[in-house]
A and B are shown apart, each in its own frame.
Chain A
Amino acid sequence: MSVRRGTGHSLRGRLAAFDDPDAMLEALRRLRQEGFSQLEVYGPHAVEGVDELLGRQARALPLIVVAAGGLGAVGGFFLQYWGMALSYPLNIGGRPLNSWPAFAPSTFELAALAILLVGFLAFCRFCRLPRLYDPIFDAPGFERASQDRFLIWIAEREGRDDRELLRQLLPEGDGVRIDEVPA
């Protein structure tokens, strides 16, 4: 009964739309206080404070990127060491085969390449991109979320009728409106 964060809505819910990010933030705070936990925010730019209220962080991405950089560096160095010292050693005036200072620039570059590619793929994985269609796109007015409007998606809580509660928490008018989102 868990929803993947931010994507793949299969649950019924409601969308509250706000013209102003600060009003959205205030509404989100109230919803959290009332115990709503399955929430997601959509907006045309990131808003400071949303992540804290939702209690979420992008913790995995930096760790993955650091790991990718480490593996890229080790792999990149080993590629050069293998080629120059093991697979086809060339004795040039008795110079050391494992000439690591000369391997350093490419090691750095290959670590950077690993970070770039793995970082992008991990980003796509966490955001579930590419995903050209999602039911949330059918929500009325959703196209404004990429332009000038902030939406809070509120999952319907099982066995509870929140309509009245939401009407109190988020009074419509003044740039706020609530739509039902079909399953």
Chain B
Amino acid sequence: MNASTETGQELARVVEPGVTALAVTAHVSGLVLERRTPLWWWVGFGLSFGLFVLFLAAVGWLFIRGVGIWGIDWPIAWGFAIGNYVWWVGMASGGTLISALFFLTRSDWRSATSRIAETMTVFCVACAGIMPVIHLGRWWYFYWLFPYPNTMALWPQFRSPLHWDFVAILVYVAGSLLFWYVGLLPDLATLRDRARRRWQRIFYGLLALGWQGSSQHWRQFRMLYGLFAALMAPLVCSIHSIVGLDFAGGLTPGWHETQFPPYFVFGAALSGFAVVLMLVIPLRRALELTGVITLRHLDVLARLMLTASLLLSYCYLIEAFMPFYRGEEREITVMTSLLTGYYAPWYWAKIVLNGLVPQLLWVRPLRLNRPLLFLVALCVVIGMWIERYVIVVGSLHRNHSESSWFVFVPTVWDWATLAGSVGLFLTGFFLALRFIPMVSMFELRDLLHKKQAGGG
């Protein structure tokens, strides 16, 4: 009884007792400005950079030889690249949901995790944005997607969901970057003012744009941040809905589903929360942030992941039920094939990893068990990649005409591109760890002041 109330109190704290505003500012900026780069950073960065080089090699070879080096062919013309795109953009949603949505709900646990989550979003979006471009085949005609006056007097097909997607990802990239950068401005000014070395003063001084922290600055800043948050929350829903429409807009059995827009939003949220957990759990130890990223944060994120998993599981049920309810022949073919055919192991893996494994999080001791929580999040991240793979390939392999029934076999270059994109993400994230404060210092100062005043 006593122990459980203690845990209850511990779970209510977003900041551990004894943490002061100045200490947080000094610690977080010290991580960037003063601390010697730790060994784990060099090891992590080295491995990530190795994978990044693999990505460059895979994409370089692709640019030389064309998309034939991948396993795609007719009729399965969408393969890993599209699956990877949907996977990356889905994980990116985590940062936007935590930063924008939970800013609007005024959740106090958001402050300490928002920077990690937003930084994750920026690099996930970068990985996502590259995938459709390298999938184009003739990628050097990429700019044809822009509506610009040209001598051919042609326009992009504005009615196509694929073009909606292009516009959506473009806006989402711009939005994530701006939201991240605006939220960084006061912290960059703090770094500028605390920096001792000359290059740091110049570097952070330029990035901070001359932020003064005057009441005028804070007034405009809070207004802009609120407006951006109110925009980013619907924007993140719109982009995943549009990604869903990429598929729903096609006549392929298994894709032509009205539930796809919310289905993709739920899936994105699930993988987003999972990847934030995978970053937060090791980083709160490695960066010694346990005072401000408490068990409360992990508990909230775990419960959010569970919620998203339940929402997505409902969509999985509808997905399996609808073909038989509608009775459309080819839809039944696709669903039966997924349940029992060539892709059945992948299909059941996605059910287990995304639907069943997160159910462990109903139990509080399991939610607070960090290694286990990390493993559950890892299962979800892998499961979400499998889900995208099954959606892309599983539907295409049983199309309307029996003459176009094939299976997709990925090549080594498919896997290299996937692994390399992870390297691209991690390389960017490790660099951000070194040069950018990983906790929003001004938000914590604000939070700590309010906690002191309100006695919370």
Chain A residues within 8 Å of B, Cβ to Cβ:
5-7, 21-22, 40-47, 50-51, 54, 56-58, 61-62, 65, 79-80, 83-84, 87-88, 99, 102-103, 105-106, 108-110, 112-113, 115-117, 119-120, 123-124, 126-134, 136-137, 143-148
CB of A132 within 8 A of CB of B446, answer no
Extra 9 A-B pairs, beta carbons < 8 Å, given A45-B442, A129-B209: A41-B214, A58-B219, A61-B224, A62-B227, A79-B147, A105-B161, A119-B224, A130-B210, A145-B213
CB of A51 within 8 A of CB of B446, answer no
| Distance A78 CA – B154 CA, assembled complex (angstroms) | 16
**B453 near A: Cβ within 8 Å?**
yes
CB of B206 within 8 A of CB of A22, answer no
Query: Which residues of the other chain, B, contact A124 by a CB distance below 8 angstroms?
Result: 209
In whole Å, how far is A45's beta carbon from the nearest beta carbon of chain B?
4
CB of B214 within 8 A of CB of A58, answer no
| Distance A105 CA – B248 CA, assembled complex (angstroms) | 14
B419-453 residues with Cβ-Cβ distance < 8 A to A are 442-443, 445-446, 449, 453
CB of A50 within 8 A of CB of B168, answer no
CB of A105 within 8 A of CB of B238, answer yes
Q: A-side binding surface: helix, strand, loop or mixed?
A: helix
Query: Which residues of the other chain, A, contact B189 by a CB distance below 8 angstroms?
Result: 146
Residue in contact with A44 in the complex, picked from B156, B158, B215, B442, CB distance below 8 Å: B442
In the complex, residue of chain A having the shortest beta-carbon distance to the beta carbon of B211: A129
- Beyond A7-B214, A113-B174, whether A143 also contacts B193 by CB under 8 A is yes
Residue in contact with A56 in the complex, picked from B147, B158, B170, B219, CB distance below 8 Å: B219
Residue in contact with A43 in the complex, picked from B158, B194, B213, CB distance below 8 Å: B213
In the complex, residue of chain A having the shortest beta-carbon distance to the beta carbon of B154: A88
Chain B residues within 8 Å of A, Cβ to Cβ:
21-22, 25, 147, 153-156, 158-159, 161, 163-164, 167-168, 170-171, 174-175, 178, 182, 186, 189-190, 192-194, 205-206, 209-224, 227-228, 231, 235, 238, 242, 245, 442-443, 445-446, 449, 453
Count A-B pairs with CB separation below 8 Å: 180
In whole Å, how far is A61's beta carbon from the nearest beta carbon of chain B?
5
- Beyond A113-B174, A119-B227, whether A127 also contacts B216 by CB under 8 A is yes
Q: Which 5 A-B pairs have the closest CB atoms?
A: A6-B216, A83-B155, A6-B214, A143-B193, A102-B159
| Distance A113 CA – B178 CA, assembled complex (angstroms) | 11
Residue in contact with B164 in the complex, picked from A6, A109, A137, CB distance below 8 Å: A109
Residue in contact with A116 in the complex, picked from B175, B205, B210, CB distance below 8 Å: B175
CB of A44 within 8 A of CB of B25, answer yes
CB of A88 within 8 A of CB of B220, answer no
In whole Å, how far is B235's beta carbon from the nearest beta carbon of chain A?
5
